Every structure is written in structure tokens, then in C-alpha cells.
Structure 1
């Protein structure tokens, strides 16, 4: 039997020189006041504001900016929501801690000792209101009537003007009456693109161009004369009906762009001078006759009162004949 070779000792491995322990690197401290509020807290804030303003308010988290934004459409103004944030959420240090939801992007490493939204949370929340196409188109109708929609500035200039105008207006999508609501729906329908081409829905630039070019009179839903049964203000009043039928020149432009009616006397005279006014025009003029008669009577009464005062002054001797100079008497 072969004698086994003696074991060869392993090569000596030089030991690493001991490293002197240095000061441990201090972790980056994040102040609690600088941390964004946690997701559950922000969602509670959004829910409370949604109930208060009766508008859906959604929280959105910006990964790049590490910031929550409360966002909604139309509804209250930004100033109103910011004021509500500062007023409705006092700090409650006695409440239990929040439990961060799994995967919450804004969940801090340590719990914040407050279950209710704190004032500093409200200050760290951004708020943003977006305007819907409906609100902007409604504002375009109103601004056209006011003479403030100009095609020369283009659709972007018109949109900027309307956004600045609506900044301090609550619920800019709400119409004033059924007629304005019908006009809005008609303009939205007229400005909608072809759905078959894959681009359905109202085109804001087209809506701006339509009212800037053609005015708003064509948006009126009912071109006929209003009758006793018409209670929703959709049909035309007698003066509006005569204006839409007889207005010309500057009066036609004023009617088409601002729905400005003719003067009362001009409207009745136009129907009277029409060889074939038609039953609706005749009824409209007859309806306006009492108002025209009352106005004419008031004007005649004012003339009579002034002339009677002059006669009374002459009779009482309060009006004397002026004494002319000598050179004036010789003429």
C-alpha cells in the first residue's frame, strides 16, 4: 500500500489590514413637515370637499414633484377650494395614527401622529380646476353677445380670454335659462366633428369660429312667435319676432350678434308698412301697440306739461320782454 503524501499546508493568505472605524454616514433626514400627506388622508380631504361643493374632486399624485393635486372640472373656483382647505381641517393631535395603504407612493417611513388632516397638509396640496368644453362654449356665446369674441386673435387667443374671464366664476357650465341651454346644445352639436372619422365630440375652435362669424341668432331654438302656452322662453317674444323678420343694416347685425331687438316704434312701423305681414307679424304688432301707445302718451304728456308751464309763466307776467339797446332798436 502506497503511503499517502504528507499534507501540503495551504498558502498563507495575507490578512487585510484592519480599517479604523469611522463615523457612520448620517441618513438623510426628511422633516415631517416636508413630507407629502399620505394617500388615505388626501382622499378623505377630497371626499369632504366633494360633499361640500357637490362636485367630484379627485386627488392625483405627481411622482416627479412628490406632490398631491386636488383636481376637478368647472364647479367652485380655485380660491374657494383653497379657502375651504384652510378653514375645514384643523389639526387633531389626539386622534389615532393613519395606516398607510400598501404601495402608497406618498407613504412616509414613520407614521404621522394625526388622523385628521392637518393645516400643513392643506398648504402642501396643490389645487387645479379645469374647464370643460361645455363651459368654454357657453362663455363664447355670452361673450359674442357682449361683442368680445374676435376672430383676429385666433382660437388660442379666444380660449385664453375665456379662461381668464371664468377664473373667478363658479360653475361656469351652468346656463341661465332654458333658452340659453338650448342655444348651447345647438352650438355643441353644430361644432361636433364627424364621428365616422374617429374624432367625435365638439370642436372648440370650430365653435369659436361659428359664433364669431355668424353670431348667435341662428342658435335660437324656436323661430316662431311665442304663444300663451309657451312658458319656457324658447319661442320669440313679439318684439324679437318682428326684429328677426324686419331688421336690416346695423339693426340686423345687432340682432344676429347680440340679440338686440329693434326700437318699439320701428318694429311696429315695419309690420304696418309690410304689404303682406302675415298673421304672426300682425299679432306681434298688435301685442306691442298698447306699450307703444303708452310710451307715445307719456311723451305727449311731457310736451304738454312743458308748453303749459311756458304759457302760465307768460300769463302771470314772470316772463318780460327784454329791453334792447339803442343800436339794436334801430335795426
Structure 2
């Protein structure tokens, strides 16, 4: 079979065209003279497992074609954003270790370059821009610089808006009340958690911080007032649980 590999070229190219149309991802056939084999290669898009299954279903001839997916900087940086928020990016392993970790995370993820929301898309674009050097005719983002930036500065600085969400704002871009109060008032571990992973303060802590502010902004006041129903429900739940627990200690 190996001696006929070059003659299989037209069939492999037609197969690549069909898969390109099916998965809406450019898939290119490449012939390796040394290994005397064909490989289909693409960036991001479907997983290797998905393409391998399609090849096996296309007949024994196609099943011998190899499949390889490469990841773009965009996909890797987006994964770094998500892993940072999940607390799974470790600065100590270095850039190669970080890349290996991200590649393992993305191995079974289709179309890893696609953000899940407008906010995530805006954060990704800000990070890619910050990781792009101004020099060069065609500047491109440096994934290692992107890793370093989020390891050093976290991800809160990438948020597309610092304003409290209002009736006319896209809910995923502007800050929700608890996010706004956390961004404004968080200190200590709460500040670290917000900057590195967008973890918000407890509702009671956030409202108390706004209440203790001698001159809260109108947005801070609106955010705190908007959280009062949630805080009231939490406190009522705590009171009910305390009453139930303590009542059990009293003989009938």
C-alpha cells in the first residue's frame, strides 16, 4: 500500500475538501515523503478523534490517513484565561509546562478558539492585544507573554467594562451588582480572588462595604440596594436554621 501513496493524492484531497465543508475548518492534506504517508492537518476546529472517526467511516483506504490538529495562539490564550479563572494555571511550571497543560486540557475540546460569551470574547481580545509587540511588519500575539501577563496581573483588568450594568447594557459586558461592589471595595484575600479569578465577595460583605463608605457613588448605592433582597433571603434562611437547630435542644 505504501508504494501507492502518491497516487492516492487526489482521493485524499477530495476527502480533505469534504471534511473542510463538514466541519467548516480548512483541512489540508500533506504527504510525508520520508514516512510515505498522508496526513490531514488543521488548526483548532474539530478534535482529532472526530476526524479519525470520519476517516474510519470513509473506508479502509481513508482509515490509513493520519490526522493532526494544531492549536493557534488564540485557542491557547483563551484556554489560559479559563484555566486561570478555574485556579488551574501554575506559574511555577514555566511557559512550556503551561503550554503542555493547556494542550492536554484542549485535546478533547472542539473549536477551542471560540469564546463562550461576549464578555469572554472581549477579555480575550484585550489580552491578545496586550501580548502583541508593536514591532514588526505583521505583529502577532506572543502566547508566553500572555501567560506571563495573567500570571502577574490576573484577569480582572481584562474586563470590558467597569460600570454597573443598567437597563440598556449588555448583561455580560457591564458588571453585575456583586461584581461592581467587589471590584470597588474588595481588599485582602477578596481582592486577590477577584483580580485573579473574578471571584466575588460574599453578599453581606459587599453590602457592608458600601454601607461603610462615607460617600458611596450612585452606582455603588444602586448595586448595594439591588443586593438587599438576596441578603434578606440569606439572613432569613440563617435565622430559620438557627431556630430549628436550637429548638431541637429544648425538651418537648
Return closer, same or farther for 1:292/1:232 CA change in 2, 3 Å cut-off: closer
Return closer, same or farther for 1:86/1:308 CA change in 2, 3 Å cut-off: same
1:275 to 214, 218, 221: 214
Partners of 1:193 and 1:199 within 8 A in 2 = no
* Matching of residue 35 in structure 1 with residue 8 in structure 2: no
Partners of 2:74 and 2:113 within 8 A in 1 = yes
Give the structure with the higher percent helix.
2
Measure, in 1, the Cα distance between the counterparts of 2:215 and 2:112.
Answer: 44
Measure, in 1, the Cα distance between the counterparts of 2:18 and 2:51.
Answer: 11
Deviates more, 1:161-170 or 1:144-153: 144-153
Partners of 1:178 and 1:232 within 8 A in 2 = no
2:190 to 223, 228, 251: 251
The runs of at least 4 consecutive aligned structure 1 residues that moved more than 3 Å come to 305-311
1:231 positional shift: 2.7
1:201 to 132, 140, 143: 140
2:26 to 50, 56, 75: 56
Partners of 2:27 and 2:42 within 8 A in 1 = yes
Partners of 2:132 and 2:140 within 8 A in 1 = yes
| Larger-Rg structure | 1
1:63 positional shift: 2.4
Measure, in 2, the Cα distance between the counterparts of 1:310 and 1:130.
Answer: 64
Return closer, same or farther for 1:150/1:308 CA change in 2, 3 Å cut-off: closer
* Matching of residue 289 in structure 1 with residue 202 in structure 2: no
For residue 28 of structure 1, what is the aligned residue in structure 2?
Answer: none
Structure 1 counterpart SS, 2:164: coil
Q: Which runs of 5+ in 1 are unaligned?
A: 1-31, 91-118, 315-331
Deviates more, 1:45-54 or 1:286-295: 45-54
* Matching of residue 184 in structure 1 with residue 124 in structure 2: yes
Partners of 1:191 and 1:204 within 8 A in 2 = yes
* Matching of residue 263 in structure 1 with residue 202 in structure 2: yes
Partners of 2:165 and 2:171 within 8 A in 1 = no
Partners of 2:28 and 2:42 within 8 A in 1 = yes
Partners of 1:239 and 1:288 within 8 A in 2 = yes
Partners of 1:179 and 1:232 within 8 A in 2 = no
2:109 to 158, 163, 169: 169
What is the aligned-residue RMSD (CA, Å)?
1.6
The number of residue pairs the alignment matches comes to 251
Partners of 1:137 and 1:184 within 8 A in 2 = yes
Deviations 1:222-265 (A, max 9, x none): 01111011234101000000000111111111001110000010
Deviations 1:181-219 (A, max 9, x none): 000000000000113x44611011100100011100000
Q: Which runs of 5+ in 2 are unaligned?
A: none
Deviates more, 1:292-301 or 1:271-280: 292-301
Measure, in 2, the Cα distance between the counterparts of 1:164 and 1:306.
Answer: 47
Partners of 1:226 and 1:235 within 8 A in 2 = yes
Deviates more, 1:180-189 or 1:49-58: 49-58
Measure, in 2, the Cα distance between the counterparts of 1:76 and 1:244.
Answer: 37
What TM-score, normalized by structure 1, do the two folds share? 0.73
1:129 to 69, 75, 84: 69
For residue 168 of structure 2, what is the aligned residue in structure 1?
Answer: 229
